[in-house]
Structure 1
């Protein structure tokens, strides 16, 4: 084991090297973090607004897509043909229930509950393609209410979640104390039998959706230019991009930017950029997967219901709805995708203040930018021209990084291992604090503040974490003021 004296020597060396870090000059463009797709103003009620680049025709499509995003789906068959097909097993009835006002959903409840915005994925430490034999890839805690002779026994939600927190106490170098929340997860009231012995729970709290179209518009070449799996530059950071399947789709541009890296048998693989472990290569595929996995709505990318062979009552319920093919056609799925593409990013707030500028300098000097890459220019050839050729400031490399044992879920997902997570974007992070149930951070929402989220950083981020610990209170406040402003 490395002793404390050794770590102190490393830390003092790193702190000394801070003064040698090159901090780029501040640009006025940073005040508009999404370029022409920056929102026209701020709201304490909703992130749902179109970017400045969006023309009237696109805006009409945006609001049409928003109606499909907002309104609850219902049981089929019904008179509401554009919104029926819910379940049979599902997590929630609408997109907005997990992404309230375009941000995050309601905070998970401590104790025994049925969650919505906190999704429980199933995986394993050994198999990157593992699904629980009974419960599949994801917990579906709700079920449609249906009376039919073929549905025996009654259709039930799969389980409830027991969520508990344990306090973790710590102290900054200046003596200021802090308390973190260490969560534990356990399923109760399992309706279809025990989980497989190999099954591991992976909690995933819903992310914000503003700016995702611009992340989709970054060229795959610009992302791969940052890959450094073996840390060849010896900076302690080993950016890695997940290689994930491209799902079949009737959408013409779903694979844009995601040029195929290789083949695995007959499966086309590409660079993942969406999801907490970068499971999906395109925004369209992410939206399609959410429809099937969260609401139980089949589509041309994911044509099968999420019922296992061990859930015959679910399978029986899935065939009585009257749909002859998938439950959401491509034309409607595309509208929801375009809504996600065109939602604006909040403008920066007080970013040119002296305090925020001091925090900006510290952000670079303590190494945050090593994973939270500040800026890109989106691809000039991206099909949706309002998103093309934009200078953006999302503060993410969209790569996988080892975040240490404290944040590990122990689940492999394609090339992501049990300690790796995709770097989340930071733009607009300060604008979330005025939204209901928005003030939660990290992949499972355990952190109530940005400072708590930083304090959980380990693995590749350990040195930056230690540098943050060494800052005095005025410096910490400045760094947090910068993050609040971007």
Structure 2
């Protein structure tokens, strides 16, 4: 994907400064025909043209079942579909401990969270927090960092060479699984406190607030100022389309100082792109802390599974100098090569770029249309931007120049103290999160058998997720609280149709 030079300019401007006025989304005189096409609709009597194909021509129209998130882009050629299947075999592969007779599959760990991509992103879908004492926690992980303590820490952060400073003993991620002969780093205990929320019309919702405790530390004390951020594995559909949105179309929506006075002040995250050795717009991760899908994939290989890649050459994964036993364990490295070859990385990238978004359901249903109107009128589209036209890219024909409906602005927003993890990530502070795309959200139960949402899965329904919104989304949340029960039902019907 080729971005314009504007991204570098905006990356500099976004650090404590406002964006140039000519990027204002309110400047209708300067809108292009494409910008007018993707402007929010004012007609809620009928569905918009092409609205039932949220991924444009990539949208699949297969039967909706547990495999709904696992189909390739519909407009893909036969040869590229074969490449997609190769990528799928890597995504579903379970890696083994080195040394092994199957050299192409070894190198796991030594410390890790999962044995494969599919272990967390089950059926290419959403993970969940543990359900009960003995539930498998593999689809939930915990990021770790500490405040900067040295001049070198501050230099790395200021130059965007790192997003955060790793905890010195346990690294940037807590690993609760290990290879034989080595202890896992720790365990995390989760406790919930429940609070009732009164809704207009006599309805009552119950929200649960999690508390996290790290126990059974195997490698000594953890830093007293450690910051912990729980993360649930997100769904995988439409990622290539999100990467194909022109950077200008994302940046144009940013209003970090809320100059238009609507209470929403989204900002772009700025991160280091090790593919180009330059700063770039953050797009991926729950705080937009990663510039490209390729970097997201390779980072997950290393941090989650403990495998080295061409861009992340830590053969012992997230082991630190304070874990000498971990650093002594054998790896799958051969001849100074990464454990995951460039060929495998490229095949996985093709796969993750082309997991298709399913066709919408019921776009013309009167309740869906009424719910859509309420969604717009409540101000939800202030962050959940409905649609874009992806950039033209001859190298990615399936994803090029598509009208898509992801319902995200890809920007960071202050979501209030209730959802704060209090852990910064580059320009994202401890209260800010990237707006998640909503396409496919209504199929979570079909694909994954649960309805856990938000970054840590605390919400057990879409309504609970909405009621956790605070900060910039407080006004929109309050409007949902004040709706009649029938209106809330229609709003949720619309969201579930996405």
User: What value does the CA root-mean-square deviation take over the aligned residues?
Assistant: 1.7
Match for residue 130 of structure 1 among 165, 169, 173: 165
Checking the alignment, whether the CA contact within 8 Å between 1:454 and 1:465 is kept in structure 2 is yes
SS in 1 for 2:329: helix
**Structure 1: which 5+ residue stretches go unaligned?**
1-20, 146-153, 249-254, 256-266
Q: How far is the alpha carbon of 1:112 from its aligned partner? A: 7.6
SS in 2 for 1:293: helix
- Within-5 A mapping of 1:36-115: 36-46=57-67, 47-111=69-133, 115=137
Match for residue 282 of structure 1 among 288, 292, 306: 292
Checking the alignment, whether the CA contact within 8 Å between 2:146 and 2:223 is kept in structure 1 is no
Instruction: Identify which range, 127-136 or 360-369, moves more after superposition.
Output: 127-136
Q: How far is the alpha carbon of 1:39 from its aligned partner? A: 1.0
Partner of 2:28: none
Checking the alignment, whether the CA contact within 8 Å between 1:247 and 1:302 is kept in structure 2 is no
The CA deviation string for residues 323-371 of structure 1, in whole angstroms up to 9 with x for no partner, is 6321001110110111011111011011210000000101110000000
- Within-5 A mapping of 1:111-260: 111=133, 115-124=137-146, 129-145=164-180, 154-248=181-275
Partner of 2:33: none
The CA deviation string for residues 408-464 of structure 1, in whole angstroms up to 9 with x for no partner, is 000011000000000000011111222334411000000110000000000000000
Checking the alignment, whether the CA contact within 8 Å between 2:332 and 2:339 is kept in structure 1 is no
Q: How far is the alpha carbon of 1:42 from its aligned partner? A: 3.4
Q: How far is the alpha carbon of 1:113 from its aligned partner? A: 6.8
Q: How far is the alpha carbon of 1:197 from its aligned partner? A: 1.0
Instruction: Identify which range, 425-434 or 354-363, moves more after superposition.
Output: 425-434
SS in 1 for 2:213: strand
SS in 1 for 2:108: coil
- Give the whole-Å Cα distance in 2 for the aligned partners of 1:471 and 1:125: 42
SS in 2 for 1:383: coil
Rate the CA distance shift 1:396–1:142 in 2: closer, same or farther, 3 A. Answer: same
- Give the whole-Å Cα distance in 1 for the aligned partners of 2:212 and 2:241: 34
- Give the whole-Å Cα distance in 2 for the aligned partners of 1:173 and 1:165: 25
- In the superposition, the TM-score normalised over structure 2's length comes to 0.86
The CA deviation string for residues 260-290 of structure 1, in whole angstroms up to 9 with x for no partner, is xxxxxxx521110100011101111100100
Partner of 1:150: none
SS in 2 for 1:196: coil
- Give the whole-Å Cα distance in 1 for the aligned partners of 2:272 and 2:450: 32
Q: How far is the alpha carbon of 1:319 from its aligned partner? A: 5.0
The CA deviation string for residues 109-142 of structure 1, in whole angstroms up to 9 with x for no partner, is 3458762111100124667522100001001111
Rate the CA distance shift 1:39–1:98 in 2: closer, same or farther, 3 A. Answer: same
- Give the whole-Å Cα distance in 1 for the aligned partners of 2:485 and 2:443: 22
SS in 1 for 2:73: coil
- Within-5 A mapping of 1:428-447: 428-447=440-459
SS in 2 for 1:380: coil
Checking the alignment, whether the CA contact within 8 Å between 1:141 and 1:159 is kept in structure 2 is yes
- In the superposition, the TM-score normalised over structure 1's length comes to 0.88
Rate the CA distance shift 1:193–1:114 in 2: closer, same or farther, 3 A. Answer: farther
